[in-house]
Chains A and B, each alone.
Chain A
Amino acid sequence: MVEKILISGNEAIGYGAIYADCTHYFGYPITPQNELIEFMAREFPKLGRTFVQAESEFASISMVCGAAATGVRAMTSTASTAFSLMQEGISGIASMELPCLIVNVQRGGPGAGSTQHSQMDYLIATRGAHGGYKNIVLAPFSVQEAFELTQLAFYLADKYRIHIILLSDGIMGQMYESVELKKLGFPPLPEKNWAVKGSAAHNYVRTFVHNSPGIIGSYYDYMKRSDEKYTKIKENEVRYETYEIEDAEIVLVSYGSTARVSLRAMYLARDEGIRVGLFRPITLWPFPREAINKIADNTKKFLVVEDCMGQMIEDVELAVVGKARIGLVGSMDRNLPTGSGMILSRKVLEKIKDFN
């Protein structure tokens, strides 16, 4: 048997950062991500890496920006309310085209919301703040995947010079699963000859990282470069997983912790003779539009399962282009009226049967 350890989804991201040779963590505590910042506070200094608890989340993201501009692998982590607080910093990072990782462990919103899980930040994570930039959004559905996608995130960030958002949630973050710790291998990356490393670096060729497109080159140059970058990412980096899709009459679409619930619902439905499949996006941006569009040629019912009032469903609607009908199992279908309420498998099964 392979050796495994039992850790939380939050800690798995910490391990992923260590294995990805991330050297700088700047953050601020907030439930339900605290197991991650505590892990970093404990482990990074042991490895001689930098851990800073900043005075706020805006300070955290600003520090990530500064560090990433010097070419190091830097990250932060937070949850919903404070993810909003970081948005101006993230837009700045986007304009500077800095690679870095931002982890959002979703909690209930809006406002202070609840301290427990939700999937209510899908739109803000995939659409971003002002300025219309794009970023890759990765969504793990198991603790093992959280560990592995974190390593992938740092690779993709450096490959494209883009910030990555890892979208988790309170359930994913605080549940424990067995994990095999292994370092993933990636193709070699070019030198960061754009990074600000002191005047003697790059053979005294001056580098300039700035947040106003048009200071060096024109505004149009920035737009063209971004457009090419996003096109390349859309063509090469879409990731998703499908379960029992081939003969499905209803396809569930779900990510993260609700994808586990949906997976179980799928098996329960199959036990009763209903042909249900599951489509699980792993990149929420770029969204697997073409893959879903193709499935809609044969399957005419999609049931989106997400713990919010309907956000990913908009992307599914765009992907399906009217070829199929779409339903929603959302937060209104939770089992309890409190913040602890969850969407459970039997409820999804009930909605599958009611979907006519």
Chain B
Amino acid sequence: MRKDNGRTCNVAIAGYGGQGVLMIGLLIARAGLKEFNHVSWFPTYETWQRGGRVFCGVVLSDNQVISPMIAEPQSLLVFDEPALDLYEGSVAPGGLLIFNSSMVKRELKRNDVKAIPIPATELAQKMGAIQVSNLVLLGVYLKMTNVIPIEMVEKTLEDTLRKEQKDKLAPLNKEALRCGYERM
């Protein structure tokens, strides 16, 4: 790849519409703005707000992002089985594959990636809302890669919820994030 000094991290996230795939990607991207000079977020989704395939890729880099459309992610967060079917093959060899074992029931085909099953939906349900399963997976990702300090992501989460006038949801959201983070 391009010979320059500096870090480049990327992560891809995939699931179905309504699981909060894009929101997690945006959280990483926004939090990353303080740490990295160049950040990109690339979404692709179908014509449904609930259901349909959703994918996003985030690149955090010290140098200009070559292409936001990442095809070989260093890390992949998988929310459901169809997402695993679509993107399992794309993970870079030796990469990280964090998947929601509550919804992924089959064996992985890859044996050259670091696979981490997390029963995210069940954990979220125990906390009170399945909608925060995305944050559980994000917490795991942050602990495993150390790409951005969790405090920075928490702050970004608070700011985002405040802007949307959903401050009341902050405690539950942060609990879900910590749940994933502290699990590892």
Query: Which A residues have a C-beta under 8 Å from some C-beta of B?
Result: 1-2, 4-6, 115, 142, 171, 174-178, 257, 260-261, 263-264, 267-268, 271, 340, 342, 344-346
Are B69 and A260 in contact (CB-based, < 8 A)?
A: yes
Residue of B nearest to A5 (CB): B33
Among A1, A6, A174, A264, point to the contact of B66 (Cβ < 8 A): A264
Are B33 and A175 in contact (CB-based, < 8 A)?
A: no
Query: Which B residues have a C-beta under 8 Å from some C-beta of A?
Result: 1-2, 26, 29-30, 33-34, 36-44, 46-47, 64-69, 71
Among B29, B36, B43, B67, point to the contact of A174 (Cβ < 8 A): B43
Are B2 and A175 in contact (CB-based, < 8 A)?
A: no
Q: Within 8 Å CB of B30, what residues of A?
A: 6
For the residues of B in contact with A, the DSSP-based class is loop
Among A171, A263, A271, A344, point to the contact of B71 (Cβ < 8 A): A344
Count of inter-chain pairs, beta carbons less than 8 A? 66
B127 to chain A, nearest CB (A): 28
Are A175 and B67 in contact (CB-based, < 8 A)?
A: no
A30 to chain B, nearest CB (A): 14
Q: Which one of A171, A175, A344 has the greatest number of beta carbons of chain B within 10 Å?
A: A175
Q: How far is the CA of A116 from the CA of B36 in the complex (A)?
A: 29
Q: Knowing A171-B42, A178-B37 are in contact, say whether A267-B69 is a contact too (CB < 8 A).
A: no
Residue of A nearest to B25 (CB): A176
Residue of B nearest to A172 (CB): B68
- The 11 listed contacts between A and B (C-beta, < 8 Å) are A6-B39, A115-B47, A175-B40, A176-B42, A178-B33, A178-B36, A260-B68, A267-B2, A267-B66, A344-B69, A344-B71
Are A260 and B39 in contact (CB-based, < 8 A)?
A: no
Q: Within 8 Å CB of B71, what residues of A?
A: 344-346
Residue of A nearest to B36 (CB): A178
Are A261 and B69 in contact (CB-based, < 8 A)?
A: yes
A75 to chain B, nearest CB (A): 26
A-B residue pairs, 10 tightest by C-beta:
A176-B41, A264-B67, A260-B67, A178-B39, A175-B42, A177-B40, A264-B66, A267-B1, A344-B71, A175-B68
Are B44 and A340 in contact (CB-based, < 8 A)?
A: yes
Are B66 and A177 in contact (CB-based, < 8 A)?
A: no
B77 to chain A, nearest CB (A): 18
Q: Within 8 Å CB of B47, what residues of A?
A: 115
Q: Knowing A6-B30, A176-B29, A345-B71 are in contact, say whether A260-B43 is a contact too (CB < 8 A).
A: no
Q: Knowing A115-B47, A175-B41, A175-B43 are in contact, say whether A342-B2 is a contact too (CB < 8 A).
A: no
Among B26, B34, B36, point to the contact of A176 (Cβ < 8 A): B26
Q: How far is the CA of A171 from the CA of B44 in the complex (A)?
A: 9
Among A176, A178, A268, A342, point to the contact of B69 (Cβ < 8 A): A342
B40 to chain A, nearest CB (A): 5
Q: How far is the CA of A346 from the CA of B92 in the complex (A)?
A: 13
Are A6 and B67 in contact (CB-based, < 8 A)?
A: no
Q: How far is the CA of A345 from the CA of B65 in the complex (A)?
A: 14
A310 to chain B, nearest CB (A): 22
Are B67 and A345 in contact (CB-based, < 8 A)?
A: yes
B161 to chain A, nearest CB (A): 17
Q: How far is the CA of A260 from the CA of B71 in the complex (A)?
A: 12
Q: Within 8 Å CB of A171, what residues of B?
A: 42, 69
